[in-house]
Amino acid sequence: MAKVEIENVHKNYGAKEDAVKGASFTCEDGELVVLLGPSGCGKTTTLRMITGLETITSGTIKIGGKIVNNLTPQQRNVAMAFETYALYPPLTVYDNIAFPLHVMNLSKADVDKKVRKVAESLSITEILPNYPDSLAGGQKQRVSLARALVREPTVFLMDEPLSHVDADVRYRARAEIKHMQATSNATVIYVTHDQVEAVALADRVIVMDLGVIQQIGSPVELYNKPANLFVAGFIGEPPMNLIPCKLELSEGKIALTFKGDGQKKFSYSVKVLPAKTMKALQGYSGKDVVIGIRPQKLKIDAASKTAVDGSMDARLVVHEFLGKNGIAQVEVDHTMLECVTTPTIPFAMGDNVRIIAPFEDLNIFDQVTTQRIPY
Amino acid sequence: MKEKRKNNLLIYLGMLVLAIYLTMPIIWIVMMSFKNKFDVISMPPKIFFIPTLDNYKALFGLGKGGLVAGSTFLSYFKNSLILSVGAIVLALFLGMPAAYAIARLRFKAKESLAFTFLSFRFVPEITIILPLYVLYQRLHLYNTYIGLILIYQLIAIPLMVWMMRSYFEEIPIAIEQAAHTDGYSWAGSFFRLVLPLAAPGVAATLVLCFIFCWNNFIMGLMLGGIDTQPVTVGLLSFMGTSEIQWGSMAAATVVAIIPEVLLVLAVQKYMIRGLTFGAVK
């Protein structure tokens, strides 16, 4: 397998705006990188440029240190698993898997050996004589993986391979892909719009929107320190609470005031905060910011408890029981916030409660640039 | 339940009437071809008569024969076969790559080009036939198989391009892209994957092109001579100055439609899709 380097790659389809605007990233040998973003963000285009199915408007793509810009897909020796599987309907499963081997001028015995080996590893031996039309989604998926794997390619590219698999087998298929990648130590670039899938699979995730890479990082980094409002809103289930606020630094306190009547605020005493944080936030005093807090981090408590740093009065609007936990919707100053709770809570709908947002769990974003303020 | 059965009955009755209405000309011609020369012109027409094979015998030069020698009809028939088969083979080699390109590639003025192909069919043949006649005389294409096969492309190419385009477009492009990443060339993926998938479409298109070429009359009449004219023109020769041989003409017509009927029966299943391609798109 090989390392893939993408440097300042642009793609223009003839419209005024580029579909991909200067993408740069590296996928190390044996790494599983996920390109994540909503539809139309340029992730599939980026993948297809790496495959060689799309030309590159400008920039360079290197596979294994070699520039491949002008090479055809077959010269790049990459394998691609397609969203629609793209199995060849007139051929049996066996011939589908053997298809890429025929161009390699291997002997019949070698082809047979390779096909059977890969079929066994994906446990599809018993469906080898079948035709693709007779297979279930999960089986088709495995056949398409087998066909890609059998060539021992330098890079493995996957374009939403699970989006057409039934929900009940998707979890298993995802685990199989991860297992296959780990055991064969393959370099994989995987495209998806499903953030749960991305976070579950990836060594590193590349989040794209509007043709621009928004953030590159491990799933943990993306979750805890999203680079901007887009990433913050895209990653995580339920989505992060994002609240426009006014930031004020005064007399050893930080106040984050809600936009409504100016009464509701999260306030924190400065004493406990490191100097670095204070310095970073200094310039934003008196300015509008957006604060983000994950529903999992926002705590809910009885209104009678004494106020602590970052606590605020709120009204419980709805609480849903979801088995292993619950979700509460609370209203503060006409803003609805979501809060993951224990399965049941000792409050009734309409009760006054207290919510607590610990400062270390807050992300503060510049409202104008939408970038996260680093502190 | 009863209501439903009654409705079905009505629908079947309607279909029967429609079927009789549509096939009546063919039934009539077949009946005519088995009548002797007195029955054929009797008034009112006879539904019941003693069938005779004389007309067919005359057609193939057996028996006593009529005014037209049997061998002439057979040579018309042969001309039709050469022209129609030649035309669809040429249309296949010219039209299929064009259809594939229009279905798959992105290039400037693609739709205009496709439209241009279709526009071949806009002008009634009768309006262009006279200039073509002059042109063909000068180019020495008049009364040649090649000349007629070329002009038949006006009929076959638009059909080939537009029908095959819709068949190609229905084949998922991912299949070809997968083949390309698997190391296959354009030609390799086209002949190993696309063509087998499009085969029913190719067959249906060829049959339809064949029928339109076979049935064409005006081109053969004006641009072909006695050596190259197709059977549609040949049927005219049964109209002599002194008499019209209705029976022989009917027999010739029946023989002339046999190739078409056989072909249509062979690919009937795909034909329906081919004929309605415009509606589906």
Collect contacts of A300-304 with beta carbons under 8 A, ≥24 apart.
A300/A328, A300/A330, A300/A339, A300/A341, A300/A345, A300/A347, A300/A353, A300/A354, A300/A355, A300/A356, A301/A353, A301/A354, A301/A355, A301/A356, A302/A346, A302/A347, A302/A353, A302/A354, A303/A351, A303/A352, A303/A353, A303/A354
**Residue A348, exposed/middle/buried by CB under 10 A (0-12, 13-18, 19+)?**
exposed
H or E segment and range at residue A337: strand A335-341
A99·B182 Cβ contact <8 A: yes
Helix/strand/coil for A191: strand
Chain A residues in contact with B193 (beta carbon < 8 A)? 88, 90
pLDDT of residue A349: 87
A82·B188 Cβ contact <8 A: no
Q: How far is B175 from chain A (nearest CA, A)?
A: 5
> Out of B172, B175, B183, whose CB is closest to A103?
B183
- What is the pLDDT averaged over residues B29-52? 84
Bridge partners (DSSP) of residue A26 are: A5
- What is the pLDDT averaged over residues B240-268? 86
Beta-carbon count within 10 A of A51 CB: 22
Query: What is the C-alpha separation between A120 and A125, in angstroms, rounded?
Result: 6
Chains A, B: CB contacts within 8 A come to 59
Task: Tell me the per-residue pLDDT of A206-262, one tens digit each, with 9 for 90 and over.
Answer: 999 999 999 999 999 999 999 999 999 999 888 999 999 888 887 778 888 888 777
> Out of B179, B181, B193, whose CB is closest to A79?
B181
pLDDT of residue B161: 93
Tokens 């995580």 belong to A236
With bands split at pLDDT 50, 70 and 90, how would you rate the model's confidence at B63? low
With bands split at pLDDT 50, 70 and 90, how would you rate the model's confidence at B67? very low
With bands split at pLDDT 50, 70 and 90, how would you rate the model's confidence at B65? very low
Using alpha carbons, list the distances in angstroms from residue A8 to A11, A47, A141, A189: 10, 14, 32, 17
Chain B residues in contact with A45 (beta carbon < 8 A)? none
Q: How far is B205 from chain A (nearest CA, A)?
A: 21
Q: Which segments in chain A show pLDDT lower than 50? A: none
Tokens of B105: 């590639």
Query: What is the C-alpha separation between A183 and A121, in angstroms, rounded?
Result: 11
Please report, rounded to a whole number, the percentage of residues in chain B having pLDDT higher than 70.
92
> Is residue B13 predicted with pLDDT exceeding 90?
yes
Tokens 């306030």 belong to A267
Q: Is A171 on the interface with B (CB under 8 A)?
A: no
Is A61:A6 a contact under the CB 8 Å cutoff?
A: yes
| Helix/strand/coil percentages in chain A, nearest 5 | 30, 35, 40
Cα dihedral value B137, B138, B139, B144, nearest 10: 20
> Out of B174, B184, B197, whose CB is closest to A86?
B174
CB-based contacts of A100, cutoff 8 Å, min separation 6: A79, A147, A150, A151, B182, B183
Bridge partners (DSSP) of residue A352 are: A315
pLDDT of residue B88: 95
Query: What is the C-alpha separation between A300 and A342, in angstroms, rounded?
Result: 10
According to DSSP, the β-strands at A32-36 and A204-209 are parallel
DSSP conformation letters of A250-262: ETTEEEEEESSSS
Q: Is A55 on the interface with B (CB under 8 A)?
A: no
Collect contacts of A169-175 with beta carbons under 8 A, ≥24 apart.
A169/A137, A169/A138, A172/A138, A173/A138, A173/A141, A173/A142, A174/A200, A174/A201
Is B260:B214 a contact under the CB 8 Å cutoff?
A: yes
A88·B172 Cβ contact <8 A: no
With bands split at pLDDT 50, 70 and 90, how would you rate the model's confidence at B5? confident
pLDDT, mean over chain A = 88
A51·B188 Cβ contact <8 A: no
> Is residue B71 predicted with pLDDT exceeding 70?
no
With bands split at pLDDT 50, 70 and 90, how would you rate the model's confidence at B280? very low
Tokens 């060829």 belong to B206
Helix/strand/coil for A113: helix
> Is residue B217 predicted with pLDDT exceeding 70?
yes
pLDDT, mean over chain B = 86
> Out of A74, A78, A86, whose CB is closest to B172?
A86
B183·A147 Cβ contact <8 A: no
Is A216:A227 a contact under the CB 8 Å cutoff?
A: no
Phi, psi values for residue A246, rounded to 5°: -110, 130
pLDDT of residue A242: 92
Tokens of B225: 């001579």
Q: Is A198 on the interface with B (CB under 8 A)?
A: no
Query: What is the C-alpha separation between B98 and B92, in angstroms, rounded?
Result: 10
B178·A88 Cβ contact <8 A: yes
DSSP conformation letters of A139-179: HHHHHHHHHHHTT--SEEEEESTTTTS-HHHHHHHHHHHHH
Q: How far is A28 from chain B (nearest CA, A)?
A: 21
Provide the 8-state DSSP code for B192: I
pLDDT of residue B70: 55
Q: How far is B188 from chain A (nearest CA, A)?
A: 10
Residue A159: closest C-alpha in chain B: B174
Tokens of A152: 């021992």
Q: Is A74 on the interface with B (CB under 8 A)?
A: yes
B181·A84 Cβ contact <8 A: no
Chain A residues in contact with B172 (beta carbon < 8 A)? 84, 86
> Out of B175, B185, B188, whose CB is closest to A86?
B175
B197·A82 Cβ contact <8 A: no
pLDDT of residue B275: 55
pLDDT of residue A47: 93
Q: Is A170 on the interface with B (CB under 8 A)?
A: no
Is A341:A319 a contact under the CB 8 Å cutoff?
A: yes
More confident residue, B218 or B280: B218
Chosen from B104, B176, B181, B193 to mutate, greatest number of chain A CBs within 10 A: B181
> Is residue B279 predicted with pLDDT exceeding 70?
no
Phi, psi values for residue B16, rounded to 5°: -65, -45
B180·A53 Cβ contact <8 A: yes
pLDDT of residue A309: 81
> Is residue B113 predicted with pLDDT exceeding 70?
yes
pLDDT of residue B87: 95
Which of A366, A276, A349, A284 lies closest to A315, judged by CA? Answer: A349
pLDDT of residue B281: 33
H or E segment and range at residue A11: strand A4-11
Provide the 8-state DSSP code for A13: -
DSSP conformation letters of B52-77: --HHHHHHTT-SS--SS-HHHHHHHH
Chain A residues in contact with B184 (beta carbon < 8 A)? 74, 103
